Each structure stands twice: as C-alpha cells, then as structure tokens.
Structure 1
C-alpha cells in the first residue's frame, strides 16, 4: 500500500546520530509506534520521507540537522531560581515540560543544579545532530474521519508519540521562555515535536 497524508502508519525504528552511529532511541524490542501522517506527530521532514515509502517496507533515512531539529543554540540555555522548581526532585539530564510565552508546550533539560539556581536547556536533546532513522513500516491504512479530526488513533490513548521513550516528566512549570524544540514526538520518541 502506498503511504500518503492521513494514513495511520505503524512502524519500528532505530534512531542514531548519523555521524557517530550512537543509538539515540529505538523501539525494535517493543511495540511499533503509530501515528497519522500530516498531523505533526513526527518530524515534518521524516513525514516527507515516510510518504515516499510503501507498506510494508524497510528504509534508512537521514535527516540533516537543518531539516530536523536545527543547530544547537547556546542562547536557549537559561539559569532560573531553584525555588521555581520547588517540590520536584531534580536530577541533571531530567526532562521537564512547561508552558511557553504563547501557551505552547516547551521541553527543557536540566543541565546543572546549583545551590540557589538551576540551569535548563530549551534545545531539543538531539539539536545539532544529523539523524539516521532505520525504519520498518509494518502497517498502514487510511485514517477514519474521526482520527483525522482529532489526531487520535482509534483504540489508542495517544497519538503513539513517545512510545518506548520512558523518561519524560510533565510538571507544568511555565517559565515564560519561548524556545521550543521539536523532536521526535513532542516529548520523545521518533522525531515528533
């Protein structure tokens, strides 16, 4: 079956840094992720590549940083008073989600924890990297009208984003800073933003 916009696609993937071959994410030993093409549930540039494929198929796809998550931006690192994180057991490397200036969800990574302040990074963890996706498309079908309207796949509890990426923490801290990142799946998994 040809894959096109508004297809529900299920796939296994392994995501590597294209330059170092470091494995960044994988669901090869888990369940396939499922998403609706054209709904922004995975990176737009990855969507474009998936739409060139048929189901079933295997493919290796390189997404250059310019078309993926962009360059690493040193200006997207901010130091905030530690009291803004009261009640959170902070750890270096922890990912937090909050609200940006325009109400959008922003993802930050804790870089440093000082005595009185916390340094957070608004860059996506894979910013500045060329990404190599090894894809195994296992299912594709036309989305129903309800699925197209809601962006939610029938029988699922989410868009499938973040499957197999189990260290996201949602704490709802708005820091009024608008650097957002895209990413595999809005919080992890497969390039969503």
Structure 2
C-alpha cells in the first residue's frame, strides 16, 4: 500500500469543525478533495498530519492557528470612513471586497460600525481558530 509522501496525489473526505462544534465545511456527501502532497494545496498542519498515512486510514486532528489560517493580525483590522462603503456594506457582518497592496482582491467583514467609521476585518475568516478535522483517506496514487 502506498503511503502519503511528497508528490503523491491524495483524495480525502473531511469534516471541519471549530471549538464550539460548529461545522464549517465538509465534503463527506460530495466528491473527495484531491491534492498533491507537498505542494501547499492544504493548510500546513493538515498536510503534515496526513504524511505517512495510507488509503483507508481515518483520523481526527486539531490544527492550531499557527499551522492553519494564522493568528488574528491586528493590522488587518482597518478603520474605514463609512461614506466610503457601499450602502449594503454599512452593517456589521457585511462582506466587502477590496484591492490589496499587490492588486489582488481581498475579502473583509465589517466588524463594528459607528456614525463615521467602520472597522473592517481583512483576516481570513478562520484566523485565530483551532481547526478540528475528521479525515478519511480515500486514495493515494
């Protein structure tokens, strides 16, 4: 049986939950996720945890923020004048798209709002979260 190592194409099914038990993502009822081990197509911690496993193996693994989507970066919390926001973006929880320093699109969420400014969080939505994966390895090729 092949084991997961650098360059192998791997297919997995998974369920991702947070500390509070909330299911964030799952492909258990869908097609397996395929990726190539070592090409950074998965978050670092999950890829590391899968190393050496085989098709048919199942595992539960908790990934700390540093090996997942990172810790919350306070510099990614930006104060924006409310009048620069679109009308539909002037409420807590609203999703916004902005242009980043290299011209890339970045997503933000309005976290707080007062009469003149909004605090927009450009961290990844799962930054600072411990990620709990329940994974089954479908194939290794």
Equivalent-residue separation in structure 1 for 2:95 and 2:30 (angstroms): 22
2:22 paired residue number:
22
The 8 Å contact of residues 7 and 37 in structure 2, kept in 1 or not, is answered as: yes
- Note the residue ranges of structure 2 that are not aligned, 5 or more in a row: none
Equivalent-residue separation in structure 2 for 1:75 and 1:100 (angstroms): 13
The 8 Å contact of residues 79 and 120 in structure 2, kept in 1 or not, is answered as: yes
Query: Computing the radius of gyration over CA atoms, which structure comes out larger, 1 or 2?
Result: 2
- Note the residue ranges of structure 1 that are not aligned, 5 or more in a row: 142-193
What's the CA shift string for 1:87-119, capped at 9, x where partnerless?
A: x85475454555421345533233356676553
1:132 paired residue number:
132
The 8 Å contact of residues 88 and 94 in structure 2, kept in 1 or not, is answered as: no
Equivalent-residue separation in structure 2 for 1:47 and 1:107 (angstroms): 25
1:13 paired residue number:
14
Equivalent-residue separation in structure 2 for 1:5 and 1:105 (angstroms): 31
Q: Specify whether residues 114 and 23 from structure 1 end up closer, same or farther in structure 2 by C-alpha distance, changes over 3 A only.
A: same
Once the 2 structures are TM-superposed, how far is the Cα of residue 56 of structure 1 from its aligned partner?
A: 2.4
The 8 Å contact of residues 17 and 25 in structure 2, kept in 1 or not, is answered as: yes
More strand by share: 2
Taking structure 1 as the reference length, what is the TM-score of the superposition? 0.59
Q: Specify whether residues 71 and 53 from structure 1 end up closer, same or farther in structure 2 by C-alpha distance, changes over 3 A only.
A: same
Q: Specify whether residues 103 and 7 from structure 1 end up closer, same or farther in structure 2 by C-alpha distance, changes over 3 A only.
A: farther
SS at match of 2:80: strand
Equivalent-residue separation in structure 1 for 2:14 and 2:34 (angstroms): 11
Matches within 5 A, 1:91-130: 92-104=92-104, 106-112=106-112, 118-130=118-130
Equivalent-residue separation in structure 1 for 2:136 and 2:60 (angstroms): 9
Paired residues, number: 139
Equivalent-residue separation in structure 2 for 1:15 and 1:83 (angstroms): 37
SS at match of 1:42: coil
SS at match of 2:65: coil
Matches within 5 A, 1:83-98: 86=86, 89-90=88-89, 92-98=92-98
Tell me how large the CA RMSD over aligned residues is.
2.7
